Amino acid sequence: MISLENVTKIYQRGAAPALDSCTLNIGAGEFVFLVGSSGSGKSTLLSLILREERVTSGTIHVLGKDVSKLSRWRVPHFRRNIGTVFQDFKLLENKSVFDNVAIAMQVIGKPRHLILTEVPRVLETVGLGGKERRMPHELSGGEMQRVAIARAMINRPKLLLADEPTGNLDPRTSLGIMRLLDQINRNGTTVVMATHDHEIVNQVRNRVVELEEGKVIRDQEHGSYGAGR
């Protein structure tokens, strides 16, 4: 599903590498926590997978494609297979919950009748049934993140990338979001989640890949994170 070979990313000439000779394989159906302190390279790794950034050296294959060889005009089509969720939700403030999710289907030309049946169905699965007409400012943080997850999942991507999805949420709400991502993974979607939330990682015990100064320093099945665990 994802395979990195000796991937190095240097943003500016002379700067320390954000990623330094990373080699990593993630199989279909896995749920992987990407952990490490701030600045360790987690977001960089996700943006290379998404082809928002390009590698300085090394190769990345995602969903069978060599991402570094993907021409620019193919990138949007490539990204259709990948859902993304971020710490700051990235909702459209002047659009309803329904429209925030529907837009992901509209941009790829899905017919209206499908949008009208699929959006309520997905909102139901993320626990937002009946809240279609709310505006983002009428939602709690956890509900906003559920909208973002619904939008990420509406086109049934094979891969979900989540960058600190619980970073703006309190521990209880975070756990709910974590359960939802876990459920999405159980339904067959590969999930890669960058986080420095020790509690979440230690509660779920998925595979843990730890970065430090751009290097993979640990890759552990059923891993933990943080002192004393």
Binding site for Mg ion (CB under 5 A): 42-43
Rounded distance between C-alpha atoms, residue 81 and residue 227, angstroms: 36
Residue with tokens 């159906």: 29
End-to-end CA distance of the chain: 30
CB of 113 to Mg ion, least distance (A): 39
> Which value, to the nearest 10 degrees, does the dihedral of the CA atoms of residues 59, 214, 194, 182 take?
60
CB of 89 to Mg ion, least distance (A): 15
Q: Report which of 7, 23, 29 is spatially closest to residue 159, judged by C-alpha positions.
A: 29
Q: What angle, 0 to 180 degrees and rounded to 10, lies between the N-to-C axes of helices 141-153 and 171-186? A: 20
In the bound state with ligand ADP, the residue whose beta carbon lies nearer, of 9 and 154, is: 9
Binding letters toward ligand ADP, positions 12-51, x by CB under 6 A: x-----x-----------------x-xxxxxxx-------
Which residues, numbered 70-89, are part of the site for ligand ADP (CB under 6 A)?
none
Q: Which of Mg ion, ligand ADP, none does residue 165 bind (CB under 5 to 8 Å by kind)? A: none
Rounded distance between C-alpha atoms, residue 69 and residue 107, angstroms: 25
CB of 110 to ligand ADP, least distance (A): 32
In the bound state with ligand ADP, the residue whose beta carbon lies nearer, of 42 and 51, is: 42
Residue with tokens 């300085």: 56
| Positions in the binding site for ligand ADP (CB under 6 A) | 11-12, 18, 36, 38-44
